Each structure stands twice: as C-alpha cells, then as structure tokens.
Amino acid sequence: MTLQEKLVSPDGRYVVCVDAFEARAFQWVDTPEVVDLTTGLALLDLKDPCWHLDSADWLSKSRVSMRLRHFPDGVPTYEVVVDCEERVATLDGSTAHPLRQLDEALREVLASRP
C-alpha cells in the first residue's frame, strides 16, 4: 500500500491520505485514511477499500469533512465528519460513532439504500 498525502490539517498534526487503486480499467478508487502525524497512528483506516474520497476539507484543526462514495455504486455521496481529537465520526449528520465503528455504519447506510 502506498499512501499519498492529500490534505494536512491547519496545525500540521493530522493528514488525510489516500490509497489509490485501479478498480477497473481506467477507474481509480482513492480510499481515504486519516493519520496522526505525531504518533503515526491511522485514526481512520476503512476496511472496505471501495470507499472513494471525492473531497476533504478541514473544518478546524482537528475536524475534517470528507465526501465519500462507494465504488461501483457511485451515487449517492455521504458526508463523514471525523473529529481526530475525540476519535469519533458522524455520517450524514447522524450521532457520533467511535471511529472503529465507522466501517459498520457505512455498511449499514449502503445496505439500506433502495
């Protein structure tokens, strides 16, 4: 796995990286990861590599908003806000989940689609 840095937090402590892979011919998926640069710890490391990062924006020094979509489904996109200090995330404005439970929350929202 080769991570590419995409967006460093305003204070330089955290970084959003992607692990890019070619899922199909000329169709790339950028799976996001959020890393604490002071410890090297991956705070967000999704187990399903088919989550694609469309965009990421830092809302504060420790909160990042990411737009994710699932390959090959593509639509809709989901907003995930990660709070790196609290180690929680919200999914489309839901209640906060511990980061270790985000994979399950994403699976559930994907399964509930009509």
Q: What is the mean pLDDT of the chain?
A: 92
pLDDT of residue 1: 52
Whether residue 54 is contained in a domain is answered as yes
Percentages helix, strand, coil for the chain (3-state, rounded to 5) are 10, 50, 35
Higher pLDDT, 89 or 21: 89
Residue 83: both structure tokens together: 């709070």
19-64 per-position pLDDT tens digit: 988 887 878 899 999 999 999 999 999 999 999 999 999 999 999 9
Whether residue 1 is contained in a domain is answered as no
Domain ranges, residue 29: 6-112
pTM attached to this predicted model: 0.90
Sign of CA dihedral 53, 2, 23, 91: negative
Number of domains in the chain: 1
Distance of CA 109 to the CA centre of its chain: 15
> Would you say 92 and 81 are in contact if contact means Cβ atoms under 8 Å apart?
no
Residue 73: both structure tokens together: 């489904």
